[in-house]
Amino acid sequence: MSITPLFLVLITLHFTTSFSSTAQQTLNIHPQHYNPKLPARVFTTSNKFEGSSDLVHLRYHMGPVLSSPININIIWYGKWAPQQKLVIKDFLLSISANHREAVSPSVSDWWSTVSLYADQTNSNVSRSVLIAGEYVDHLYSQGTHLTRLTIQQVIANAVKSAPFPVNHKNGIYLILTSSDVTMQDFCRAVCGFHYFTFPSLVGYTLPYAWVGNSGKQCPEVCAYPFAVPGYMGKGGPGALTPPNGDVGVDGMISVIAHELAELASNPLVNAWYAGEDPTAPTEIGDLCEGLYGTGGGGGYIGQVMKDRVGRTFNLNGRRSRKFLVQWIWSPIMKACAGPNALD
């Protein structure tokens, strides 16, 4: 598949007509950089640290990171349109360093910050991420309201059903719920979370992450900045236009990215996190939530790009896809980092 790096090409069109032989018009299709100030999200799960900070004591707690190639098993829970699945799968498949087809700044460049995390065996988070399997739970096996416990039952069912492999060496499970599925604490306190399964429920200890489609329930919370709180009324800056035309799914991408980064660097919640309390760890994604580019903070999301039709993004993926993904805390810079940094 060939990629046309359209936005890297400055096309200058010279229009000469009989009416105006000197007329010259420049059509600049460079993506426009901008840093919109937006109304705050309804909640943030943690403080952000826009600049570098010595106050952040991110510590290593001796556990493993995901250092083998990361095999993602996706569980599609509820009703998913093929187009929605494609956007999410294109994002996941853009992470690997093998997928160099995307132009810079790319999703795979973004993951290089995550792969700076290593464990006590000097093994870094793997740069290789693949989709190992998919399981469709379109009959809502645990109903349309899930809890942290019933979600493990969803995984247990998926694990039992062939051809879904149990791969507790380097397999992780990504449970994605459709917009009609409610979840314990969804919209009020969480947009996604990661943990590991209990052997008593699932048979194995498997790292997993859950992310819900907030499109119909609380886009201003979980699909921010593609939806902003309504009470701001008119006159203020509106929501940004999602890069793949789907507020719920485009909003999920950054949450999936956040959870995968944390899952990879803290899969058993005993590796990389800040704070003293492992039941409420502040992890490498939490530290940079809501920050997408240089100059973010105080209501600004940072310098991101806008394409010709106004869709906002900061990373390129495979098949010319574009995504808006939050930055990640770098253990080297001791600051939030992303490949679209301007400085």
Ligand X SMILES: *[C@@H]1O[C@H](CO)[C@@H](O)[C@H](O)[C@H]1NC(C)=O
> Which residues are near ligand X by CB under 6 A?
115-116, 118, 124, 331
Q: How far is the CB of 264 from ligand X (least distance, A)?
A: 12
CB of 54 to ligand X, least distance (A): 18
Distances (CA, A) of 13 to 10, 28, 105, 229, 306: 10, 9, 26, 41, 21
Q: How far is CA 146 from CA 140, 149, 213, in A?
A: 10, 8, 13
In the bound state with ligand X, the residue whose beta carbon lies nearer, of 116 and 130, is: 116
Nearer to ligand X, 125 or 324 (CB): 125
Considering beta carbons, is residue 33 or 334 the nearer one to ligand X? Answer: 334
With respect to ligand X, which residue has the nearer C-beta, 115 or 266?
115
CB 318 within 8 A of CB 93: yes
Euclidean distance between CA atoms 67 and 85, whole angstroms: 26
Residue type, 285: G
Helix (H, G, I), strand (E, B) or coil at 190: strand
Q: Report the C-alpha gap between 213 and 43 in whole angstroms.
A: 17
Which of 228, 284 has the CB closer to ligand X?
A: 284
CA distance 249 to 264: 22
Residues 6+ apart with CB under 8 A from 155: 75, 173, 175, 197, 202, 206, 208
CB 325 within 8 A of CB 87: no
Nearer to ligand X, 115 or 179 (CB): 115
Q: Which is nearer to ligand X, 109 or 137 (CB)?
A: 109
According to DSSP H, which parts of the chain are helical?
82-93, 107-114, 150-160, 199-202, 219-222, 247-265
Tell me the backbone φ, ψ of residue 98, rounded to 5 degrees. -65, -25
